[in-house]
Amino acid sequence: MNAPGKRLEELSRFSDLLLLIAGNPATPPSVLAQLARESEVEIRRAVVLNPNTSLLVLGQLVGEFPEEFLRNPVLPMLNMVKPEFIKELPFLAWASLLRFENLPLPWFQQLKIDSRYQRNQAAIWNLLGLHVIQVNASNRPVELFSSSNTRGTWKTALQAEMKRDLLAVAQPVTLSAEDELETFLLLGLLVPHVVPMLKEQWVQAARSSEKLTGRMLSSGMRVGGKTLTQLAQEKSPLVLSQVARHPHTSAKILRRLASSSHPEIRRAVASNSHTPTEIISTLLTDSQASVRRAAVGHASLTAEDHEIMARDEERTVRASLAALPFLAKTLLAQLAGDPAVTVRTAVARNLHTPLDLLATLAIDDQAIVRAAVAGNPRLPIILQSSLLNDTVEVVRARLAGNACLSEQSANQLVQDASPVVRAVLAANPCTPMFLFEQLRQAGEMSVWRGLARNPRLSSEMLTQLAQQGDRSVHIAVAAHKRTPPDVLRELAREGERDIWYALASNPHTPLDVLESALRPTDIELWLRIFNHPTMVRDNRRSFFALLNRKLQQLIASSNLPDWVRRVVFQYYAALPATIIEPFASSTYWEERYLVARHPHTSEDLLNKLAQDGIVSVRMAARDALPDR
């Protein structure tokens, strides 16, 4: 407390000391003014409580910390020596302070005797007129919007009040693009019926983070037709590709995107199952093989189309055709004799390839073709035996992963000299369980990783692998459905991103583990967790709590975007109380009024609002209390 101001100014270079310096009454006002701009909430709170903070800085922070301002030790002295200081407070400061009913009466008297204040500060003067002290002093009747019998009248009047108050705000919104994207994502996921009105936010997100916007479009978030039309005007190929793949994109937009100069956009149009046949017919003749390769798999193609595409000059297009189910046997036979290895490989991999063709391809001179045959689940046991001793490792590895591997073949492959073959065998659900221990004792991490991916592995062995395996083994254990919850919690403590993604893919991951994953900002992870079975069964309460905290932070720092206010005003009665209740601490009385009118606001919160300094808010809360 006896540190000189100059020394405190020097120490303010050290971030670990800022909170102490902000609370020290000896800190110079110039240093406190700098600390008032710090991002950490507790530092700004300490500045408001500091009696050495200048009135100008206090006025900037009152909107965020009204209670702390009223507890500042310098306030009684200001009331005595400089009572007119209250005239210097900005609109946001008054809007926050008027939440409290027991404000010093001299403040109102000081303002009343100055007629110039009424003329020069009309917005604040009108706001002061709504306070309980002013209403009681004038004995004028209170006209509440809720008293209107005309449907929508109170909304119109309230919207006018809110617009006026918002225009009076001098402080610009300084919300980061990341915070805004998070808020937009959470609202869109939790309240999908509000998304169609957020066309501008979709476009803004597309420009600030095209990768995440593309991920959001592909995640199944509800998107309106007008929003897709606007997004189709963007320049980002990634965003346009996701628009082209979206099931609700109109034929008109698809037709325009099909003529794009970017092959990836045309390829996305070709892969959309809702793309009209006439557009697909055009894309089948595209100059880019990747586009034709996507178009050849469209469900609208006929047998005649398949025959034409079987003569395409590009082997990758013919290979895509060869992979399609229910091709005519004659066409499969034609493709099985194709000179291109990739085409014969696709035929060998096709589950509908006849056995006689598989037998022919099993003796192909190219190992990659034989490997595709070895991995085909329709491979008969007699052909499995012929491939067991293939000299090429990849052929035996594919056979080891065959979904219909015989026990006899598995017994031979477990002795294979190649760890790659044994690792694939370890992951195969058809591998006899009595071989698991033999594979584990090998002590090879690649084999353990395969075991950890095997759905039939026991919980006991998974626990052993989690204790002895490396990072890659831990990732596989984290994704396994039989891993015990305690082991999953232990893996979550490692904090590895890939492990978190594995946990998000595991339908049996406990709720508390999923909730801990929501703390770091990772929108990709949030999207994976949102539809997790455990989270869905819990009604996604953790996501609602996350949005609640986000809104509280934005409201407290006066950084809430205007579009969020529009959503709340438009849909307040249909929104869950969890989303509405943070507005009980809003600077704007109109938003607190909406909370008081919400049908599911908690009784405790209504009791708090019933003591609000603004008469309209307190009366609405008191009217609602008897129904709780």
Per residue in 125-150, pLDDT (tens digit) is: 888 888 998 877 654 434 434 434 33
Question: What would the pLDDT profile of 483-513 be if each residue is shown by its tens digit?
Answer: 999 999 999 999 899 999 999 999 999 999 9
Q: What percent of the chain has pLDDT over 70?
A: 94
Higher-pLDDT residue of 14, 442: 14
Q: Give pLDDT tens digits for 579-624.
A: 999 999 998 898 999 999 999 999 999 999 999 999 999 999 999 9
Tokens representing 121 are: 């500060």
Q: Which residues contact 460 (CB under 8 A, 6 or more apart)?
A: none
Q: What is the pTM of this model?
A: 0.81
Q: 388 by DSSP, 3-state: which? A: coil
- By the 8 A CB rule, do 144 and 618 touch? no
Q: What's residue 156's pLDDT?
A: 62
Phi, psi dihedral angles at 119 (to 5 degrees): -75, -40
Radius of gyration of the chain (CA): 34
Which two three-digit tokens encode residue 10?
Answer: 């020097």
Residue 145, pLDDT score: 41
Query: Is it the case that residue 172 has pLDDT exceeding 50?
Result: no
157 band by pLDDT with thresholds 50, 70 and 90: low
Which stretches within 144-250 are classed as H helix? 153-167, 177-190, 199-208, 210-218, 225-231, 237-245
pLDDT level of residue 521 (50, 70, 90 thresholds): confident
Please state, rounded to an integer, the average pLDDT across all residues of the chain: 90
Residue 12, pLDDT score: 93
Cα separation, 11 vs 626, in Å, equals 56
| Residue 147 pLDDT | 39
12 vs 21: CA distance, rounded Å? 7
* Residue 163 confidence (pLDDT): 59
Encoding tokens for residue 308? 């034409």
- Residue of higher predicted confidence among 152 and 242: 242
**At residue 168, does pLDDT exceed 70?**
no
